[in-house]
Amino acid sequence: MAVNSDVAAAPTSFRRAAHDLLNAIWRPELIVEEIPAPQKIAPFAAAVSADVLVGGEDVGTGRLVLLHDPAGNAAWQGTFRCVTFARADVDPEMVSDPLLARVGWSWLIDALETHDAEYLAPSGTVTSVSSESFGGMEDEDPRAEVEVRASWTPVLADGVGLAAHAQAWGELLCTTAGLPPLPAGVVAMPARRHAHKSQNRSPRRR
């Protein structure tokens, strides 16, 4: 769970926050698993990855890393930091839309605010790329992707409160993949920890 090999030495606040991340309630389209956390960014870290599956098709993917530095970090404006990316196929025509980057960034901010996940110092990029095949590969369909890379400081009370940020991240992944918000009355499911990685992602068409 933590960069520090002695998990018992991790601060209580980090262990609480990491527990919320690793035991979060996710939307049913998300297949989530714990992954090794980066080892050089902060003294303590935990991480999960997720695939967005619809009808058995992998339509999006992402990762969320929780960082903790008990000494604090001026750039973070706090002792915790969430770092993420979310990626999904989109219609090739979408990448030419000059508003796509701004809209993509709003997906993150809207998700945090919808889930009442208090945050500070958000930053990131939204990138869209397209590709078209030629020659021996000309039979392949054009492809386009949008990717949101972002970080923000979750405002936690002694490590409590990360669940809302995890739910917001799940919402970001699903929105990036083109899914609508979860309908009222539909209950999210507990995280499934088994690995489930699609080997062949098909371009998504909206």
Side chain identity at 53, as an amino acid letter? L
For 148, residues 6+ apart whose C-beta sits below 8 A from its C-beta are 84, 85, 86, 87, 104, 105, 107, 108, 124, 125, 126, 172, 176
In a domain, 140, yes or no: yes
Query: Model confidence at 4, in pLDDT bands (50, 70, 90)?
Result: very low
Structural domain includes residue 138: yes
Nearest to 177 by CA among 198, 200, 146, 137: 146
In a domain, 200, yes or no: no
Q: And the tokens for 5?
A: 């090999």
Assess if residue 205 is contained within a domain: no
- Number of domains composing the chain: 1
Q: Tell me, yes or no, whether 161 lies in a domain.
A: yes
Identify the sign of the CA torsion 71, 8, 83, 153. Answer: negative
pLDDT at 94 over 80: no
For 140-182, how does the pLDDT look when each residue is reduced to its tens digit (9 = 90+)?
776 788 999 999 999 999 999 999 999 999 999 999 999 987 6
- Rounded to two decimals, the pTM is 0.82
Confidence (pLDDT) at 185: 46
What is the distance between the alpha carbons of residues 27 and 84, in angstroms, rounded to a whole number?
A: 17
CA distances from 111 to 49, 74, 195 (A): 18, 25, 26
For the stretch 27-66, pLDDT in tens is 999 999 999 999 889 999 999 999 999 988 999 999 999 9
Residue 79 CB-half CA count within 13 A:
16
Range of the domain at 60: 7-190
